[in-house]
Structure formats: C-alpha cells, structure tokens
Amino acid sequence: DVSPRSGPCSRSSTLQFLKSIASVSGDLSSMTAPSFILSPVSLTEYPSYWGEHPELFAACTKGADDVERMCNVLRWFIATLKGQYTSRNTSMGSEKKPLNPVLGELFLGTWPSQNDEGETTLVAEQVSHHPPITAYHLANEKAGVSLEGHSAQKTSFTGRSIIVKQIGHAMLRVKNAEGKEDLYLITLPTLGIEGILWGAPYIELSGTSYISSSTGYTATINYAGKGYFSGKAHSFKAGIAPSAQPTHPLYSIEGEWAGVSKYKGKAPGKDTTFWDASSERREVQVKPLAEQGDMESRKVWAKTAEGIRAGNFDAASKDKTRIENEQRQKRKDETAAGTPHQLEMFVHIPEDQEYTKLAAATSGIKPTTEDGYRRKPRVH
Ligand code: CLR
C-alpha cells in the first residue's frame, strides 16, 4: 500500500539505503532497509515457490522417454519462476527484503491433492544463520517425485543494481515409468535487483542455468531482460540436448518465463505453447498459528510481521531486536554447555558426490559449493 514515490521513499532515505547496500556487499541479510521495503515474510518460506504447480511437479514422472520427461521437468521448472521472482511485486507492489531467518527456523506446509496427483509436502529449515542458508525438501510420494536443495546468496552492488549470485542447487528425484530413479540436478540463475534508485525494486534474471540429468540429457536455459534477445523483460531461451552435445538441441523453447513460451526451431510442435504462466499458482497450506511449533517461521515472526503489516515499524523493529538478542544468548549458552545447535530435519554433507558427479556431466556448470543437505530419514 506504499506507492514507490510517496513519503517513505524520500531522497535522503533512498541515499541512506544505497549506502547501506554498498557497505554490506556479500550478504544482504544485515543491510538496514527503509521500512517501505520490509516484507513480513521470512526467507524460510521461499522454497514453497517450488511447489506452487503440484500437478506439473507430479508430471515430472510422465513421458514416453527420457527426452519427453526432460520436457516435463523443464516445464515444471519454468513454471516456478514467476512465483520465485515476481510474486512480491504482485502481492506487495515491489520486491522486498524478507525477514532474516533464525538458526533452526522451520517452514512446514502441504499442497493437498486436487486432481488425483497426490499430496505434496514441504519441509524447509534454516541450516545456517551466518551466512544464511536454507535447506528444503518437497515430495509427492504417490507420484514418486521429490526435490531437495539448499539456497544461499552472494551479492554485489554495481551502483545501480544489486547482483545476486545464487549459491546452492536442487536435486530432483523422479521414479520413472520403468520404476527406476532418475536424477535432475538444477542450477540456479543470477538475479539482478533493478529499480532500486526509483524505490521500486524488481528482479530480472540473467545468465544461464542448467538441468543436468542422469538420463544423459541437459536443459540449458538462457535468461535476458528488456533490450536483449527478444526485447521483452523476463525472457528466456531453452534447449534440451544430449549432455555431451549441448549445442545440438532436440527441442528449443523461447518466450517469457512470467508469460507465454513456445516450442521453436525444427522440433515437433513448432509454435505450440510450452507454458502459459497465467495458469493458477497454488499457495502452500500451513497449520494455524496455534498449532505450530515454537521454531516454525510464522510463530517465530508473528509479532514482527504484525508490526510490518500494520505499518507499526517501531513495534516491528523492537520485536526483531528481541528475537536477535534471544538468538545471541542461545548461541552463547550452547557454546558454554558444549552442546552446539543440531539440525532438526537435514544432515549436512560437506562433499556432495551426487551433485559434483552430475555437475561434471554438463560442461557449462560451474559448481557454486560442494555442500549438500539431505533430508533426515523419517521414522514412521
Ligand atoms: C531465495 C531463494 C528463492 C528465490 C529467491 C527469490 C528472491 C530473492 C531470494 C531468493 C533471496 C533474497 C533476495 C530475494 C530478492 C530480494 C532479497 C535476494 C534468491 C534481498 C536479500 C533483499 C534486497 C533488498 C531489496 C529489495 C533492495 O528460491
């Protein structure tokens, strides 16, 4: 409800803001943002964007062969981008600074089955506070598909926009029609946060991301904004090719990731729609606050979020300080007692072989980290 050019975005606060961005290069979580840019949502909630098309997630298992299945995986991936990178603009008017999760913060949710695709579940945990790292696991057991990954960021400031390099990756596991498990390593695009000088930040994607599969195929996705290959914002070109011959695509797709994309080139189905992002996104469902555990994100941040939503930034900031102090004390107590914080839902893998192996299969992939986080086995 705060228009970009109204009071809060005065020249002086914008200048202060820019200085603050420039000074915290590397990790934006410690940046002091002007109040009009604060979001009441914690970063632990963001992995839910992966699940907002449960039917496409489940359809990753479908397809007559490996190439068709890669098409379905790519469609699901492209379909998540609109939510991941434009939804704060739609729901709150501009890109916002999310709440910086506390260590051990959890976000748990589900997408109930709607068209017989099966229930999709989400577990996200803040596995590191400094630097901030969020691990996540989504699964549809009935369909036989799961996604596991972690997310961190490295930022730099050009004087005009913030460049966010995504650290981490996701692994999609798919039980295919023949009953065997295929892996799809998903790397993540680079973000540019534009429009900061106008006080109306939004994300544009750039560079290349990959989906490298154990089936021997790779999807290569090139991103561009206004003025590049199509002239339109939020554009991409993708190709599906044997991993050993990435420049000889069997399928080519082009269009806007937040709009319509189509099959292009010699491939079958030329000029037919690949994905139309106006299709409904399904929001994750979470338990009512009263039934949530103490470490669950919305419970942790209830008061801070309420302050931000009500425009009561003093109350919000006071509550945020309370949480941060409690956290500092908790860490001190743990050190004193010799009982360091334990991850609840994930195990840390210092050298994730499964990842490095698949990354090596596709020549363009440059690993951003060797770390992996796996969902702990559940005891039923
Ligand atoms: C987190 C992982 C998600 C995709 C995603 C979308 C938006 C990104 C977010 C990630 C990380 C934090 C982020 C955010 C946009 C703005 C915010 C980079 C990568 C920074 C910390 C806030 C900058 C403040 C401004 C709005 C100027 O899958």
265-309 confidence digits (pLDDT tens): 877 788 999 999 999 999 999 999 999 999 999 999 999 999 999
pLDDT over threshold 60, residue 3: no
Average pLDDT of the residues in 356-368: 93
Ligand 1 — pocket residues by CB below 6 A? 28, 33, 37, 46, 49, 84-85, 95-98, 151, 153, 164, 166, 193, 196, 201
Atom of ligand 1 nearest to the CA of 17: 27
CA of 45 to the centre of ligand 1 (A): 12
pLDDT over threshold 70, residue 8: no
What pLDDT, on a 0 to 100 scale, did the predictor assign at position 9?
53
Mean confidence (pLDDT) of the chain: 93
User: Higher confidence at residue 22 or residue 90?
Assistant: 90
Q: What is the ipTM of this complex?
A: 0.99
Q: pLDDT tens for residues 182-216?
A: 999 999 999 999 999 888 999 999 999 999 999 99
- Residue from 14, 16, 25, 28 whose mutation best tests the ligand 1 pocket (most atoms within 8 A of CB): 28
User: Higher confidence at residue 32 or residue 148?
Assistant: 148
CA of 300 to the centre of ligand 1 (A): 20
What pLDDT, on a 0 to 100 scale, did the predictor assign at position 5?
43
Q: Residue 150: pLDDT band by 50, 70, 90 thresholds?
A: very high
Atom of ligand 1 nearest to the CA of 43: 1
CA of 33 to the centre of ligand 1 (A): 13
What pLDDT, on a 0 to 100 scale, did the predictor assign at position 33?
86
What pLDDT, on a 0 to 100 scale, did the predictor assign at position 283?
98
CA-proximal residue: ligand 1, atom 8 (nearest): 85
Atom of ligand 1 nearest to the CA of 46: 3
pLDDT over threshold 60, residue 1: no
- Residue from 44, 153, 284 whose mutation best tests the ligand 1 pocket (most atoms within 8 A of CB): 153
What pLDDT, on a 0 to 100 scale, did the predictor assign at position 93?
95
What pLDDT, on a 0 to 100 scale, did the predictor assign at position 229?
76
pLDDT over threshold 60, residue 356: yes
Q: Write the secondary structure of the chain as one string of H (helix), E (strand) and C (coil).
A: CCCCCCHHHCHHHHHHHHHHHHHCCECHHHCCCCHHHEEEEEHHHHHHHHHCCHHHHHHHHCCCCHHHHHHHHHHHHHHHHHHHHHHHHHHHCCCCEEECCCCCCEEEEEECCCCCCCCEEEEEEEEECCCCEEEEEEEECCCCEEEEEEEEEEEEECCCCEEEEEECCEEEEEECCCCCEEEEEECCCEEEEECCCCCCCEEEEEEEEEEEECCCEEEEEEEECCCCCCCCCCEEEEEEEECCCCCCCCEEEEEECCCEEEEECCCCCCCCEEEECCCCCCCCECCCHHHCCCCEHHHHCHHHHHHHHHCCHHHHHHHHHHHHHHHHHHHHHHHHHCCCCCCCCEEEECCCHHHHHHHHHCCCCCCCCCCEEEECCCCC
- Residue from 193, 196, 205, 257 whose mutation best tests the ligand 1 pocket (most atoms within 8 A of CB): 193
Of the candidates 267, 190, 188, 250, the one whose C-alpha atom is nearest the C-alpha of residue 215 is: 250
User: Higher confidence at residue 305 or residue 178?
Assistant: 305
What pLDDT, on a 0 to 100 scale, did the predictor assign at position 10?
61
Q: pLDDT tens for residues 40-91?
A: 999 999 999 999 999 999 999 999 999 999 999 999 999 999 999 999 999 9
Q: pLDDT tens for residues 298-317?
A: 999 999 999 999 999 999 99
| pTM, 2 dp | 0.95
What pLDDT, on a 0 to 100 scale, did the predictor assign at position 30?
82
Report percent pLDDT > 70 for the chain: 97
What pLDDT, on a 0 to 100 scale, did the predictor assign at position 4?
43
What pLDDT, on a 0 to 100 scale, did the predictor assign at position 101?
98
Atom of ligand 1 nearest to the CA of 203: 15
